[in-house]
Structure formats: C-alpha cells, structure tokens
Structure 1
C-alpha cells in the first residue's frame, strides 16, 4: 500500500511526540548505533550542515570533540562553510588571504570522512571594505582581474576536496527590488563594473572555477528560488544562456530559507525538474524554517508540527528528482542559527540550542530512511517500497 509523504510526516511527528516506554532488549541490540541523518541518507544524496569553522572548529581535537563537533561529525556527510569562504573572511585585504577558518572546515571534514560544499565565490554581500569602496570606481578589466585572482586562488587551494561550489550567489534581484527581477548590476560591485556584459563575466567566473578544479560541480544559488516564479524564470533563462555560451555551469541551488509566515510553494519539484532537464544538478543548499515566537520565546505545538512538515516537503522535492545531489541545513541548532540576528523570528533549525532533536529532525530522518532501502539510487517519496 502506498503512503503519501504527508501521511508519513504526520506519523513521524506523532511518534516523536509520544512517550516512549522503557523496554528490555538484548545487549547486542542495545549496542547498535543510533541511526543518524548521515547513516540513513541515500548513497546518491549528501545530507549536510553549514558550520562556521572560525568559531566552532579551530583547535578541533578528534579524540576529544565537544558535543557540537560530535553531532556535526555523526549526523552529516557534507559541510558548508557558513562564512569562512566569503570574501570578508577569506580575502580581507587586497593582497591578503586568510584561510584559517576554511582550513579548519576542511580539516574537520577530512578527519570525519565528510564532503565539503564551497560557499561562495561571487556575492554582493559580506564583502570587505576594500571591495565595497571600489564599487563604482573599477573599470571592468580591473574588476575582472581582482575576481579572477580570487576565484583561482580560493578554488585552487581546495581543488580535489570540494565536491560542489556555489560559484554565483544571489545575482538576481527580487520582484520587490528597485528595477524588479534582473541581474544585480547595482548591488554587486563586479557586475556593476561590467554592466555592459554581466552575463559574459558570470560565464568567465564559471570558467575560472572549472579550470582551477575540473572535478567540482559548479552551482548558481539563491533564496526565493524554490518554486517556479519570476526569479527562477530569470535563472532558468540565465542558465540556458550560460550553457549556450559554453560556460561550465553544472548546478542550480535553492537556498530554502523558509518562514511559517508564508505558504509553501508546491512547484518546487517541477522547478527542480526543469533545471535537471537542462542537464544540471540541483540541490537544497541552506534549509531552515523560521517562525515568529510568543512572548515566552517558544513556538506553539501547531508551529512545531508545521515546521516539521515544511522540512519534510523540502526533502521530498529533492528526493523525487534524481539530479538532486545534496540537502543542506543552514546549521542544525538554534544556538548558532543566523535567523534571530536578522529576523524577528526564531526556532528555525532541526535541534534546540541544547541539541534536543525536534520533530523536524525526526521527519527528515524518517524521509531519508524511507528513501534508502539498502540500495542506490534512492526510492522517490510516495512509491511502494
């Protein structure tokens, strides 16, 4: 009998909320390791988390990890440097690179047998002062030289160790921005300098990254990019243009920063499928589900259940498309979540600040387990198993 993903999520939430009675089990059975997201994920899908290496992984001791580090290693097969590879951190001065945070992420990944997603090479935000101050003064040739040196230096340093790169990040405006949906030729200093041919510059960024590491999969990445809308239409057109120009674009990533104040876009699977039809890989790259909280700072039971459902629907859309290579949460615990510092919302991750697993975690675990009947590729959600 076939069961819908929604029914399975509801069952997982109910099971997580129920009281578990203590049972006597044989010692061998009791000794079995507890299942993790990593252990239950299909072999053709990386389950990952963002981590700020500079804050959490410097001085990591493999024999004596702290609780956060142990969970990070046990639960996830992929890591994304949350900030360590952004320009402000890794390239703080024109002739200065600081690889300490990124190196810490790479070292942790090697020690724990994990993959790494690189993030990010071209973005209009979190740039150092020397870049933002140059906006509007660079010629296109000057901007290209700076950008090419950065891309080749950073990608080259980690060649062979990063399996996917967010090469271009948030290069398309939203419909509520001035000028509507179009390339960010005002906010992005490099696109601004090369506004006469911004697509040509984007194509070269992919070429430089590919030449620095031919084995890494190269992605475009953005928020509000889950379903079919004006923004993803623009990305779809950009992807076709870049591919027609011979650029080594290989993937499309939907960040998936969701809020319970808005609905869920049911066209996410269809959106992933149309990019896959172009020959691209797709990925959920930065998933979290935030919500407004009451005066006590706590969510309601209804919010907790709805959050679990949203996480499950994100995973279902990925599992249903064989081209979806990775599913990454943007941090796994509320203590380190970026959300409260930016939005009047919270409770966005799959664990509390003291690492208590939420129903959202249980739904992801159940979805991964259900998609992994001991073989690869995965079984899409909703099919008999």
Structure 2
C-alpha cells in the first residue's frame, strides 16, 4: 500500500471536519436532540471527565444530545472521598460542558452501594444516617439549579426483588430510601427525584419489587418523581413487556426514563447483529414515545470505543449507535426513523468527492464486473449516477448494466479496492451514508476513500480506516 502523508493543511481540514461531525443525520436536516425535542422528549448521553478531552466525542455529544449524565463524577467516591472532604471539580466540568452546549444534566448519583468510599462502609451503624443526609444535602445544594434530575438511590434491588443489604439498609432498614428522597428534596426542591436500577425494564420479580416500593413511597407522601430504567441490553433481548412496564409506573403518576441504554453484541459484530441492534434501538425509542410520561432516552456513552461494555463483559462490545471511528451505525438510523426523522431511504444522484469536487465514476462506463471505481469530472453520465437503496446498496447503470458498489472479494482490510460487481445483496455491497459525510462499508466499517488524497481525474477509490480526511467526505445528489 502506498505510504500516506497528511500535511498541515490536511490536518487542519481534519480538525474542521471533526468539529462539524454529525451535525446533520443522513438524509435529514435534524439531530437526535432536535427530533426528540419535537416529540416532547430528550435524548441524552453519558460523559466522563476524560471524554471531555476527546474532540470527536464532544462534537457528537454537543450536537446530537441534549442531556448529559456524568459517568462517575458525581458518585460518592469522587465527591466525598474522605469524611467531610468534598471534591466537586470533576462534576463541575461536566456541568460546564453541558451548559455551554445547551444541555441539561441528570445527576448520578447520591446513594449507591458501589463506588462507595471505604470509610462509609466502615462507619458505626448509628452514624450512617447522619453521614448519608449530610452527603446528600451538601451535594444537592452544590448543584442546586444546575441539575434536571437526581438518581437519588441507585440500584437498590436484588434480582429477586428484595432490597440489597448494604450499609444504608443495615443501618436504617427500608426507611433509608424515603429518608434519602426527602433529604434530596429539601436540598433541591426543583430537581426531579428518581430511583434507578437495571433489569427492571420488563415485568419481572425485580421490577415488581420496584413497583411495590414506589407505591409504598407515594402512599407515604415521599417526594418520588420518577423511575429510571437503565436498559443495558444484550442484542435481541429487549423485553417484550418494556412498554407495558413503563406504563404501569406512569399510571402511578411517575415519570419514567431510559437512563443508560446500550445493546451489547457478541464480537465480532456482523451485519445481522448490527441490524438486530438497530431493531432493538427502534423498539426502545418507540416504546418511550408510546408512554406519555416517558420523558426521554439516554445512551450510556457516545461511541463503541469508549463504552464501559468492552472492559466489563469479555467478548462483547459494539454496544452503542456510534462505532469506534465515531461513525453512525444502523442503530443510529433506526433511532432517527423511530423519532420521526428520515434516515436512509432511496436516494439518487451523483456522489461528489468533497476533497476534489469530482464524482465517483465507473471508468469508461464499463459494464464489466470487477472494474475499480475512480473520481472524475462530473458530467451527469449514467456511470456517475448512483442510487442508494433502502437495503443499503449503491447501484449504478454503467454500459447498460445495473451494478453494485462492492468491496473486492469480501476483503475488510485498509487498501481493499472498491469496484462494481453484479448485485447480490452480500454484506460487502452494503453501505452506510453517515451524518458526517463519510460512506462506510457495513461489513468492514472502513471508509470510502480516494487513494493518497488524490484529486486528479482517474484517482482510484478504496476502503481505508476512517480518519476525517476530506478525501473521505462525500455528498449524494
């Protein structure tokens, strides 16, 4: 493969491209946040302090999402690592980012058995209530007016629907939850107060336990406003009772929210599992839209490369709407569609190479399968008119034959030539038109690329690792 060199000018182009990444979804002048807001919902993500230094992540986050959940920065081990010694700097950074991008913040969290400093677990039981109330009051007061909602108590249940016997339960019994909610409300009366847990998305023993607790709290006049359904799914396993389960909580007068959505796939991901993931995302979003008190959906993280799944569930990954190269996946388009936007569909026109201003072209209008495509001066010939089909193919009529854009011999490595071939529906003939102007192969995840940043007539086209270069930017039509 020819050595690639990117000079200062090209680097500047990349920086601009990344800064503008994902402003407009494929085929629709809208974002996830805009589409969700039009439906009276929000669409959020989670960020950590480390993510704030990644321009690609923050560009997507600030453009596509309108709610931020701090991944770790408001948890007890960060905010009060020693008794009475508070550290709000990391959380303040997340809040500052949110404010600068017109995003709201979900506070996460005030009381949780995990990521809890050892000094809390080691307290005499008769001191736990006072320490818990002091922690809640101090943190909620610090963020008063800056947080839309708090996960006041996080993951309080065992799988069988009984409450965990953590330090708070051992000290106060079931009353610790009501006390935590009342304390949070006193400190920040305008914030929505949630109980948040996983594996409560469908109707089962655990969600039944949460439902009974919610009923009991409300009957006591405890200020509970919502239930958070974390929604860490395995692909193909979204519970069929999701909507009905959300509806029963809503019927109690509570808001419900999908708070930590991801959908992990056993690796390597295939075109079929990515399509199932797209189906799952669409199912979740439509369920939320069908329940009037479902206020929004938050994905846990921005992209696959920074997802917690990779380090937690060996052999699984690819759990979000964006791949490790920050490119939207089929799940993104399914989400856009579920929100009422337009994603893929059938579209026809010249495929313009942004870096050169020339068009994707079948040399000499060849009808021979296996002809490597190039860029050439746009002239409106049939061999430059491409149709993006609802099945994700890019077809062209060249020399009287209808052919498909194809990755040579099913290869998935950088440098694979891109050619025309008889249409056969295979994964190496399926393409994703992405919101940042790239075109990626569904099978490989690589970008349609003009070799060596070529801009001259006859420059050949191949697959290459996505890097944000102008030679990987295309517009259809």
| TM-score, length of structure 1 as denominator length | 0.79
Aligned-partner SS, 1:42: helix
Q: 1:50 aligns with which of 33, 42, 46?
A: 46
Q: Secondary structure at the match of 1:162?
A: coil
Query: Which residue of the partner structure matches residue 158 of structure 1?
Result: 143
Q: Distance in 2 between matches of 1:56 and 1:99?
A: 17
Unaligned runs of 5+ in 2: 1-23, 343-477
Indicate if the aligned counterparts of 1:42 and 1:368 stay in contact, CA closer than 8 A: no
Q: Quick check: 1:226–1:256 contact (8 Å CA) kept in 2?
A: yes
Q: Deviation at 1:355?
A: 0.3
Secondary structure at the aligned position of 1:113 is classed as: coil
Q: Comparing both structures, which one devotes a greater share of its residues to strand?
A: 2
- Hey, what does 2:188 align to over in structure 1? 213
Distance 2:273 2:62 in 1: 29
2:241 aligns with 267
Distance 1:194 1:204 in 2: 9
Alignment of 1:231-250 (within 5 A): 231-250=206-225
CA contact (8 A) 1:90 1:98 kept: yes
2:281 maps to which residue? 311
Contact 2:60/2:302, CA 8 A, preserved across alignment: no
- Give the match for residue 350 of structure 1: 321
Cα separation, 1, equivalents of 2:171 and 2:312? 29
Is the 2:28–2:341 contact (alpha carbons within 8 Å) kept by the matching residues of 1?
A: no
1:183 matched to which residue of 2? Answer: 163
Query: 1 CA distance for matches of 2:259 and 2:108?
Result: 10
Q: TM-score normalised to the size of structure 2? A: 0.64
Among 85, 102, 119, the alignment partner of 1:113 is: 102
The one of 362, 367, 376 aligned to 2:333: 362
Greater percentage in helix: 1
Structure 2 counterparts to residues 87-106 of structure 1, below 5 A: 87-106=76-95
Which shows bigger deviation, 246-255 or 35-44? Answer: 35-44
Give matches, 1:1-385, under 5 Å: 34-43=29-38, 44-52=40-48, 54-57=49-52, 66-132=55-121, 134=122, 137-139=123-125, 141-175=126-160, 181-185=161-165, 188-195=166-173, 198=174, 200-260=175-235, 263-293=237-267, 298-344=268-314, 345-370=316-341
Unaligned runs of 5+ in 1: 1-28, 59-64, 176-180, 372-385
Q: What's the offset of the Cα at 1:244?
A: 1.1
Equivalenced residue count is 315
Q: Secondary structure at the match of 1:291?
A: strand
**Deviation digits for residues 88-121 of structure 1 (CA, Å, limit 9, x no counterpart):** 1111111211111110011011111111001011
Aligned mates of 1:46, 1:271 — CA distance in 2: 20
* Counterpart contact for 2:30–2:341, Cα < 8 Å: no
Structure possessing the higher radius of gyration over alpha carbons: 2
Give secondary structure in 1 for the equivalent of 2:340.
Answer: helix
Q: 1:138, 1:257 → 2: CA distance?
A: 35
Change (3 A) 1:264 1:67: closer
The whole-number CA distance in structure 2 between the counterparts of 1:309 and 1:66 is: 29
Using the TM superposition, give the Cα deviation of residue 370 of structure 1 relative to its aligned residue in structure 2, in angstroms.
Answer: 4.9
Root-mean-square deviation over aligned CA pairs: 1.8
Separation in 1 of the partners of 2:56 and 2:302?
Answer: 13
8 A Cα contact 2:185 2:191, kept in partner:
yes
